[in-house]
Structure 1
Amino acid sequence: MVAFTKGHGTGNDFVIIADPDGELELTADQVAALCDRHFGIGADGVLRVVRSASIPEGSAALAEEPAAEWFMDYRNADGSIAEMCGNGIRVFAHYLVRSGLATIEPGSTLPIGTRAGVRDVTASADGYQVDLGRWKLSDVDPLAKARGLDVARPGLGIDVGNPHVVVALASDEELAGLELEYIPELDPALPEGANIEFVVPGEPLVREGIGHVTMRVFERGVGETLSCGTGVAATALAVRYWAGESAPDHWQVEVPGGMLGVRMFPADDGEHVALSGPAQLVYTGTIELF
Structure 2
Amino acid sequence: MASTPPQTLQVEKAHGTGNDFVVFADPDGLHDLSVEQVQALCDRHRGVGADGILRAARSADSPEVQGLLASEPEATWFMDYRNADGSLAEMCGNGIRVFVDFLVRHSLVSLTPGQTLPVATRGGVRDVTVSASGHYQVDLGRWRLVDTDTLVHVPGLDVPRPALRLTVPNPHAVVILASNEELDALDLSALPDVRPVPEDGINVEFVVPQEPLVTDGVGHIRMRVFERGVGETLSCGTGAATAALAARHFVGDMAPHHWRVDVPGGQLSVRMFPTEEGEHVALSGPAQRVFHCEVEI
For this structure pair, what is the TM-score category when the shorter chain's length is used for normalisation? over 0.9
1:68 to 66, 75, 89: 75
1:247-279 deviations in whole A, cap 9, x for unaligned?
Answer: 001000000000000000011110000000000
SS of aligned partner of 1:38: coil
Partner of 1:4: 11
In 1, distance between residues paired with 2:190 and 2:127?
A: 35
1:231 — aligned with what? 239
Q: Could you tell me which residue of structure 1 aligns to residue 53 of structure 2?
A: 46
* Separation (CA, whole Å) in 2 of partners of 1:140 and 1:208: 30
**How far did 1:102 drift?**
0.6
Mean CA deviation greater in 27-36 or 16-25: 16-25
Is 2:116 aligned against 1:109? yes
2:259 to 208, 228, 251: 251
Q: SS in structure 2 opposite 1:66?
A: coil
Q: Secondary structure at the match of 2:191?
A: coil
Task: Give the equivalent residue in structure 2 for 1:157.
Answer: 165
Matches within 5 A, 1:76-155: 76-124=83-131, 125=133, 127-139=135-147, 141-155=149-163
Q: How many equivalent residue pairs?
A: 289
C-alpha separation in 2, matches of 1:251 and 1:64: 32
Would the alpha carbon gap of residues 233 and 126 (structure 1) be closer, same or farther in structure 2, given more than 3 Å must change?
farther
Structure 2: distance between partners of 1:70 and 1:164:
26
Shift of 1:107: 2.7
* Unpaired segments ≥5 residues, structure 2: 1-7
Instruction: Answer yes or no: is 1:208 the counterpart of 2:216.
Output: yes
Moved more, 84-93 or 142-151: 142-151
CA contact (8 A) 1:134 1:272 kept: yes
Aligned CA distance change for structure 1 residues 114 and 245 (closer, same or farther; 3 Å): same
Give the drift of 1:140. 5.7
Q: How far did 1:224 drift? A: 0.2
Q: Is the 8 A contact 1:175 1:198 kept in 2?
A: yes
Q: Distance in 1 between matches of 2:67 and 2:95?
A: 20
Aligned 8 A contact 2:147 2:164 in 1: no
Unaligned runs of 5+ in 1: none
Question: For the Cα contact (< 8 Å) 1:166–1:234, is it kept in 2?
Answer: yes
> Which whole-Å CA distance do the structure 2 matches of 1:265 and 1:222 have between them?
30
* Superposed CA offset, 1:149-195 (max 9, x none): 11110000011011000001111011000111121010110101110
Q: For residue 192 of structure 1, what is the aligned residue in structure 2?
A: 200
User: Take 1:60 and 1:214, find their aligned partners in 2: how far apart are those partners?
Assistant: 38
Q: After the TM superposition, which segments of 4 or more aligned residues of structure 1 sit over 3 Å from their partners?
A: none
2:3 aligned partner: none
Which residue of structure 1 lines up, in the alignment, with residue 23 of structure 2? 16
Of 218, 228, 245, which aligns to 2:226? 218
Q: Distance in 2 between matches of 1:12 and 1:141?
A: 29
Deviations 1:93-140 (A, max 9, x none): 000000000121233210000000000000123510000001110146
Worse-superposed segment, 102-111 or 81-90: 102-111
1:207 positional shift: 1.1
